[in-house]
Structure 1
Amino acid sequence: MSKKKNVEKTEKIEQKSASEKKEGVKVEKVVLPKLEVAQKKAESVTAETISPEPIKEIPKKKEHTSELKIAYVVVVLIIILGLAFGGFSLFKSSKIDTSKIKDVDQLHALNREGKLAQDQGYIYNEFSFVKHQGLWWTEVQGVDALVKMPLHFGPREVEFIKINGQLEPEFNADQKVYIAVNPNVADKFYTLAITELSVNIAQGIGRLPIGACTSNNDTACDNRTIVSCENTQGKPVVELAIASEPSVEIKGTCIKISGEGYNLVRSMNRALFRWYGIMQ
């Protein structure tokens, strides 16, 4: 019996040691620290990949630069070949890009030679109109010299606005021109029209614009002349009014300019073109 027990005990010990060895092997195979290092390496590689610094050293930029140089050479060759094979007339008739031209006189010279596109310049009743910095410039004969005047619209853009009526000679009897405004109107286009009109009357036409009001119900009109097309007091008056339809109405010694938004500015430009003798 004792031998049997000893044998069983020995077998149990061997089984236990065998199982411990197996467990030891399993523990050695699970290398967690190495996995963490691998993860850190992977993270560092990812960080380097998205870092902006290595992008500066990409050699493809040199290839791109060389491609651009080749493209420029090709363009130059095409131009040379075009000129050599009768393409000069084609270049001669092409319109000039005016975006970098800062001199209005130069634009007028190009316009008179027919070298500007229609949206950049044209001749209207022998007057040169050129587009520069968002405004239409023309030259009018002032009192003593030629005056360069900028306007928001050219004559072609205001042809649809008709002028009705005829001025009496008394309109030109006085050097002053009374600009009658409605003190109750607060509108940026209204202000723009008043400003552009006054500048042109002073510099282009050579007369003295005087600020006046159509009514005396505002403190801004204190000590101002109260006139309108309905009440000119025999004075030369230009009245600006807000209206849905753009128009220019002339009666006696008054010019009434009406419109809304940019149409008010168009009506004002239309009246000036008549005043300058550019349009009828």
Structure 2
Amino acid sequence: MANKFDKFEETNKGNNTEHNKGNKTEHNIGNKTEYNKGNKTEYNIGNKTETNKENNLRNNPLKSKETKQEENLTNLSDESLDDIKIREDVEEVQEQSWFSDYKLLGVIVGVAVIVLILILAIPSIFKEVPKTINELHQDVLDGKDDENNYLYNQYSFVRIGSDTTGYMWYTQILNPSTKIKYDIPLHYGPKELEDIPVNGDINQFLQMMYVYNNTLSEYSEFNINETQFPNLAYFSFDPNSNNLDLINLAHHEIRTNMMQVLDVRLLPACTTDQNEACKKIAVLTCENKTLPLIVFNDVNATTPTSIDIKNNCVTLNGYGKGVVKAVDRLLYKMYGIMG
């Protein structure tokens, strides 16, 4: 009995061992390991990750929705960042454009101001400095003459003035007593007066200007300083003349010249007493033979301008501006510039 049992147990032990060692081990090592390694591992690596993600989304709708919202939020966040960046770039470009526009405007304004300054400054920069009257006279003496600057009988004549103020002819005359050279202004140059005839000799008139005691009692109220101006002469005119404005101009021109250059004071007189203005001054005509006298004689428009000299009396015959021309012609005669 013992032997059977032992034999049976031995048989089971053998079989079990064989079976476990053979089949079970083989199964575990072969099939199970192969299954785990082949199928299960492959399933985990190949399919389980992919399947789990898809299954989780299908099996958990809430989680799927949150995931989609998270993805949308991520996309929205990305889009917002792009939009912000674009907006910042646009604003920067606009700011740069605004600054560039104002900068360009500033440059344009600056250039315009500079151009305006140059336009205004160029005439003054290149404007010729006017010559002095002495320089003009010297140019004439050096042979640089033209119609407005010329040499006449060794005297230089220059025309100075403007269209607004008018023009005057200047020449230089030496005062014989003081030896001072004066620039005397006259309305007409000698070339313009060559057609005015002078009849008679001027010498007696000139000599009588320097005779003392030519003062008349009618001029006592004039307070004449005979010490300063001892030499006297007279000019006489018709107070009822229609040409008084030009007669006054002519009188001023000859009086200024005679006082400045010849040291002779010229006093007014009338050719008639038929005017209240002549009540306090002398009435003088060429009938007076003792005083140096210049008489303004109105003539009609058809009578040419002329000068008649008879002893101590000089008669200026002129109409309108002809009176002024006659005075200038007489002065050129007295200065020895014209014959």
Q: TM-score range by the shorter chain?
A: 0.5 to 0.7
Of residues 110, 124, 144 in structure 2, which corresponds to 1:115? 144
Match of 1:39 in 2: none
CA distance in 1, matches of 2:128, 2:201: 40
Match of 1:270 in 2: 329
Instruction: Give the Å deviation of 1:110.
Output: 1.6
Instruction: Give the Å deviation of 1:232.
Output: 1.9
Match of 2:271 in 1: 214
Match of 1:149 in 2: 184
Contact 1:177–1:207 under 8 Å retained in 2 = yes
SS in 2 for 1:272: helix
Structure 1 residues 161 and 98: alpha-carbon distance in aligned structure 2, compared to 1, 3 A threshold: farther
Contact 1:167–1:254 under 8 Å retained in 2 = no
Structure 1 residues 98 and 153: alpha-carbon distance in aligned structure 2, compared to 1, 3 A threshold: farther
Of residues 192, 197, 211 in structure 1, which corresponds to 2:254? 197
Contact 1:165–1:250 under 8 Å retained in 2 = yes
Q: CA RMSD in A?
A: 3.1
Instruction: Give the Å deviation of 1:138.
Output: 0.6
Could you say which structure has the larger radius of gyration?
2
Match of 1:138 in 2: 171
Identity %: 27
CA distance in 1, matches of 2:247, 2:316: 11
Match of 1:100 in 2: 130
Instruction: Give the Å deviation of 1:198.
Output: 0.8
CA distance in 1, matches of 2:329, 2:135: 26
CA distance in 2, matches of 1:170, 1:124: 25
Contact 1:205–1:276 under 8 Å retained in 2 = no
CA distance in 1, matches of 2:273, 2:136: 46
CA distance in 2, matches of 1:58, 1:242: 69
Instruction: Give the Å deviation of 1:100.
Output: 3.0
Structure 1 residues 225 and 99: alpha-carbon distance in aligned structure 2, compared to 1, 3 A threshold: farther
Match of 2:199 in 1: 164
Q: Give unmatched runs, 5+ long, in structure 1.
A: 1-56, 77-96
Higher helix share: 2
> Normalising to structure 2: TM-score of the pair?
0.52
Instruction: Give the Å deviation of 1:211.
Output: 1.1
Contact 2:145–2:151 under 8 Å retained in 1 = no
How many residues are paired up? 197
Instruction: Give the Å deviation of 1:223.
Output: 2.4
> Normalising to structure 1: TM-score of the pair?
0.62
Instruction: Give the Å deviation of 1:253.
Output: 0.7
Instruction: Give the Å deviation of 1:98.
Output: 8.6
Structure 1 residues 98 and 251: alpha-carbon distance in aligned structure 2, compared to 1, 3 A threshold: farther
CA distance in 2, matches of 1:98, 1:225: 53
CA distance in 1, matches of 2:312, 2:274: 24
**Is 1:176 aligned to residue 232 of structure 2?**
yes
CA distance in 2, matches of 1:99, 1:264: 36
Structure 1 residues 228 and 111: alpha-carbon distance in aligned structure 2, compared to 1, 3 A threshold: same
**Is 1:225 aligned to residue 282 of structure 2?**
yes
What does residue range 76-95 of structure 1 map to in structure 2 within 5 Å?
A: none
